Amino acid sequence: MAEKSLSPGKRVAIGLVVCAAGLGVVALGVHQLGPKANRFAAWEFAALPVGMAFAFGGAFLALPRGFVRTRALIAALMVTALALTADWIAFGPGDSGLRRGFSLNNVRGPLQTSQMLGRVLFGVGAVLADLLAFWAWVRFFRAPGGRAATRARSSS
Give the model's pLDDT for residue 41: 64
Reported as a single tens digit per residue, the pLDDT across 62-119 is 999 888 889 999 999 999 999 998 888 888 776 555 544 444 444 444 445 566 777 7
Polymer length in residues for the chain: 156
**Distance between CA 65 and CA 43 in Å, rounded?**
36
- Is the pLDDT at 15 greater than 70, yes or no? yes
**40-79 as b/e: b if 16+ CB within 10 A:** eebbebbbbbbbbbbbbbbbbbbbeeeeeebbbbbbbbbb
Q: What's the pLDDT tens digit per position in 125-146?
A: 999 999 999 999 998 998 676 5
Residue 3, pLDDT score = 59
pTM of the model: 0.73
pLDDT of the residue at 33 = 82
105 pairs with which residues across the strands? 110
Q: What is the pLDDT of residue 73?
A: 94
Note the pLDDT of residue 42.
66
